[in-house]
Amino acid sequence: MTAPILITGASQRIGLAFAMHCLEQEKPVIATYRTRRPAVDTLEQAGARCVHADFATNEGIDSFIRTLKEEASSLRAIIHNASDWLPESADSDPAEVMAAMMQIHSMTPYRINLACRHLLENSDSATDVVHMTDYVVEKGSAKHIAYAASKAALENLTLSFARLLSPKVKVNSIAPSLIMFNEGDSEAYREKTLKKSLLGIAPGEEAAVQTLQFLLDSPYVTGRRIGLDGGRHLV
């Protein structure tokens, strides 16, 4: 039986697009979601095993790991896509914001990678871990300080797990910038944001899907960060 690909945070945007891509290629998928959106029904109808997971607490991580080990004897890949985007504000407790961001963006991948190491190593072929980080790691953020710091921690985990899990498992990260707009974004905001990169486009989820597939296909890339930002670092 083909080992499944685990995709966290697969109920929308990049996670959903990659899950559907895998299913269209008849690859088994285990998809996690925090909020049951209509897309979860779509994934299940397409053949995905969808698992509710609340990574906001260690108990939630424990529960998910137990469920995963009951259902899978091996994994082809883990795509750590689950994310949140809490800003600092006058109404928020900085300690709580930092704890929440570190919990989902670094603690969750850290614990799942360690707990599921044997599932990756049990696969007959080469396997992968991909951490979805963020362009903001390069320059920080005045409005999302904890978010940026937690994604930087995730990027560092890429280096450590590439060392730990080699040579069987390749571990890389993808750092996207603008991939797609939200429905409510104004024309003024869109125009301003597009000017932040050399290529000046919002390429859509397919650009991230292609990059993810490249990493899974490549036999010789590990411990690397791929910037998916349209040349934003040069503007």
Mean pLDDT of the chain: 97
CA dihedral 6, 7, 8, 12 (to 10 degrees): -150
Maximum CA extent, the chain: 52
Q: What percent of the chain has pLDDT over 90?
A: 96
Of the candidates 68, 33, 75, 78, which has an alpha carbon nearest to the alpha carbon of residue 42?
33
Strand partners, 175: 227
pLDDT score for 33: 98
pLDDT score for 31: 98
Verdict on whether the full-model pTM lies above 0.95: yes
- pLDDT for residue 80 is more than 90: yes
Section 114-127 average pLDDT: 93
By the 10 Å C-beta count (0-12 exposed, 13-18 middle, 19+ buried), 56 is classed as: middle
Return the structure tokens found at 34.
Answer: 């925090």
Residue written as token pair 């570190």:
102
For residues 107-125, one letter each, b for 16 or more C-beta atoms within 10 angstroms of the residue's C-beta and e for the rest, the string is bbbbbbbebbbebbeebee
Of the candidates 161, 91, 129, 164, which has an alpha carbon nearest to the alpha carbon of residue 8?
129
Q: Which of 33, 110, 147, 220 is catalytic?
A: 147
pLDDT score for 206: 97
pLDDT score for 75: 97
- pLDDT for residue 124 is more than 90: no
Q: pLDDT grade, residue 125 (50/70/90)?
A: confident
pLDDT in tens, 81-94: 999 999 999 999 99
Q: Count CB neighbours of 157 within 10 A.
A: 22
Of the candidates 32, 13, 23, 24, which has an alpha carbon nearest to the alpha carbon of residue 79?
32
- pLDDT for residue 1 is more than 80: no
pLDDT in tens, 34-65: 999 999 999 999 999 999 999 999 999 999 99
Active site residue 147: yes
